A and B are shown apart, each in its own frame.
Chain A
């Protein structure tokens, strides 16, 4: 069952009709509706193309949050072998919003870390909707240290609405944990590559995405604040999220122009969720290329280049 976003309503109608026709045809054999159904299919296809060729920033946010979009776990299952999850921050707990461990990527041992949102009510609650607590960042720090020590490249998959705003998280030093995770990203002497696969929510994303190379899926977003949050502060009205999404320049395309993301990974027509396998394979190829670019660099040069990359950031603005 496809989950349609609000702006996909006309599409849902056409695809629903085609589906209905075929269902009727299956029941009574003498009816031939295939021509009609195919015409509807074509119509749907054109409409889909129309919708997705010019997605507004707010619609991109919706696509990036699509419940059927492949999540961290899907990528780990498909792209890595021998995934060995490693748990805990050795201090307080294991945060299930953050997946992490060792695995092989194309046979090479790597450390993979990412936020997992969950795919149904049960897993979403278990994963806290991909909102990490301090333990999640501290687990990531521990894994990055492991990667550094044993010379394993780090791959991070970013998909979070943001760090969890809760009482316990604050008491246990949410901000310190994020700051240290960002710091660790800048310290490790092994390649670190990052892919924003859905939502790159503020500090919670930076803590993982301070990398040598940052790629973004075509319809993913990465922002200092959610459009709803920005709208409620600057417009004093959370319903102005469309305007806020526009103003914040949070799309992969804008971030590429600003030099924040290095690559854009094309999604299948209609978004990653319409062809998950294809999307995951494209992400895999991108990770392979990014790691390939970095494999000959010495530790010292890697760290120096990474720091320079961030120091230089923002020197060019967005041409109108």
Chain B
């Protein structure tokens, strides 16, 4: 601060100090420390181009990479009752919600969409870890049910990307009841003989792992994702010993028979296409450049880049 910034009026002040360059051009990889250019990182789906470390990705960005041409249509999710318990800790629950909405620009912790991947129609849902730790409350439950119902109604497979610290404490017992509720949604898919594929991303823990995230026909995880019921800290407190290296990480679970595959994010799309087309009895996907897609239906808005 110098005398002029104190003296000059705020409006004029902002005029003088306006910068043309955004601040976050570079992101430091949490794992190897390499400085990564934002555009390059975004093109690589938030995977470090140097060490392959998987950083968090929002559902919208994920879908932009997942669906053909980044085109998808959001599936409507019924609104649950806001703040059903009138929960208050150090902050009120509605205030925490508003803060999360402001931070993420999203309504809630899950996005459900339908579209095509490799010209294979699917319904997909992705959990948003940046929104209150992706926590599972009534809305996430409703989103999974809406996604499953949409998949059953249209005969499409359902792909779910999980990422959550667990149940949303601020919804108390109602968040716990999302375990059986989402299990019913999974059963709808199974009874309709539709594939339910879970992609577990970092981190997937607690009540989420102990319900819909562990009930997939195919269980895939992103590399090094933490996947557990009780977190490592809780276990260390209980057994009072250090846990082995890599404990509860995707590769560890794969070794212990709890997963089908561990697949890097950049290869996921191709793998999902291959798996789904086999499960749905469709011919192999066309390799190489895709033919131009047929004119998109009128209601399909390119929501991917509109953020």
Interface residues, chain A, with chain B CB atoms under 8 Å away: 163, 165-167, 169-176, 178-180, 182-183, 185-187, 202-203, 206-207, 210, 222-225, 230, 233-235, 243-244, 247-250, 254-255, 258, 260, 307, 310-311, 313-318, 320
Given A174-B210, A179-B183, A314-B81: A243 in contact with B89 (beta carbons within 8 A): yes
Given A167-B239, A179-B183, A203-B206: A314 in contact with B174 (beta carbons within 8 A): yes
Q: Is the CB of B214 within 8 A of A182?
A: no
Complex CA–CA separation, A170 to B184 (angstroms) = 24
By a CB distance below 8 angstroms, the chain B residues around A165 are 229-230, 234-235, 238
By a CB distance below 8 angstroms, the chain B residues around A248 are 85, 87, 169, 172-173
By a CB distance below 8 angstroms, the chain B residues around A234 are 89-90, 169
Q: Is the CB of B175 within 8 A of A166?
A: no
- Interface CB pairs A-B, < 8 A, 6: A170-B235, A175-B229, A210-B179, A247-B89, A311-B181, A318-B86
By a CB distance below 8 angstroms, the chain B residues around A230 are 89, 169
By a CB distance below 8 angstroms, the chain A residues around B173 are 222-224, 248-250, 254-255, 258, 260
Mask of B45-76 contacts with A, CB within 8 angstroms, 1/0? 00000000000000000000000000000000
B160 at the binding interface (Cβ < 8 Å): no
Determine which of A166, A173, A260, A320 lies in contact with B238 in the assembled complex, contact meaning CB atoms within 8 Å. Answer: A166
Given A223-B173, A310-B177: A175 in contact with B183 (beta carbons within 8 A): no
Complex CA–CA separation, A249 to B177 (angstroms) = 14
A95 to chain B, nearest CB (A): 15
B159 at the binding interface (Cβ < 8 Å): no
Determine which of B90, B172, B181, B213 lies in contact with A310 in the assembled complex, contact meaning CB atoms within 8 Å. Answer: B181
By a CB distance below 8 angstroms, the chain B residues around A243 are 89
Given A166-B238, A244-B89, A247-B85: A183 in contact with B187 (beta carbons within 8 A): yes
Grouping DSSP codes into helix (H, G, I), strand (E, B) and loop, the A interface class, with mixed when no group exceeds half, is: helix
Q: Is the CB of A167 within 8 A of B229?
A: no
A106 to chain B, nearest CB (A): 28
B145 at the binding interface (Cβ < 8 Å): yes
Residue of A183, A230, A234, A314 ringed by the most chain B CB atoms within 10 A? A314
Q: Is the CB of B228 within 8 A of A203?
A: no
Given A176-B258, A186-B184, A224-B207: A235 in contact with B90 (beta carbons within 8 A): yes
Residue of A nearest to B145 (CB): A311
Q: Is the CB of A176 within 8 A of B180?
A: no
By a CB distance below 8 angstroms, the chain B residues around A316 are 81
Q: Is the CB of B177 within 8 A of A178?
A: no
Complex CA–CA separation, A51 to B87 (angstroms) = 26
B243 at the binding interface (Cβ < 8 Å): yes
Mask of B208-233 contacts with A, CB within 8 angstroms, 1/0? 01111111000000000000111000
Closest 4 pairs (CB-CB, A-B) = A165-B230, A317-B84, A175-B209, A234-B89
Complex CA–CA separation, A260 to B256 (angstroms) = 36
Complex CA–CA separation, A255 to B138 (angstroms) = 16
Determine which of B83, B86, B169, B230 lies in contact with A170 in the assembled complex, contact meaning CB atoms within 8 Å. Answer: B230
Q: Is the CB of A313 within 8 A of B181?
A: yes
Complex CA–CA separation, A223 to B212 (angstroms) = 19
Given A182-B211, A186-B184, A258-B174: A171 in contact with B256 (beta carbons within 8 A): yes
Complex CA–CA separation, A140 to B15 (angstroms) = 69
By a CB distance below 8 angstroms, the chain B residues around A207 are 210
Determine which of B172, B179, B183, B187 lies in contact with A250 in the assembled complex, contact meaning CB atoms within 8 Å. Answer: B172
B248 at the binding interface (Cβ < 8 Å): yes
Q: Is the CB of B84 within 8 A of A185?
A: no
Complex CA–CA separation, A267 to B113 (angstroms) = 49
Q: Is the CB of A179 within 8 A of B172?
A: no
By a CB distance below 8 angstroms, the chain A residues around B80 are 314
By a CB distance below 8 angstroms, the chain B residues around A163 are 210, 229-230
Determine which of A175, A176, A313 lies in contact with B174 in the assembled complex, contact meaning CB atoms within 8 Å. Answer: A313
Residue of A180, A182, A207 ringed by the most chain B CB atoms within 10 A? A182
Mask of B177-201 contacts with A, CB within 8 angstroms, 1/0? 1011101101100000000000000
Residue of A nearest to B241 (CB): A167
Q: Is the CB of B181 within 8 A of A179?
A: no
Q: Is the CB of A185 within 8 A of B180?
A: yes
B145 to chain A, nearest CB (A): 7
Complex CA–CA separation, A10 to B150 (angstroms) = 60
B247 at the binding interface (Cβ < 8 Å): yes
By a CB distance below 8 angstroms, the chain B residues around A317 are 81, 83-85
Q: Is the CB of A175 within 8 A of B180?
A: no
Given A178-B229, A233-B169: A202 in contact with B89 (beta carbons within 8 A): no
Complex CA–CA separation, A243 to B87 (angstroms) = 11
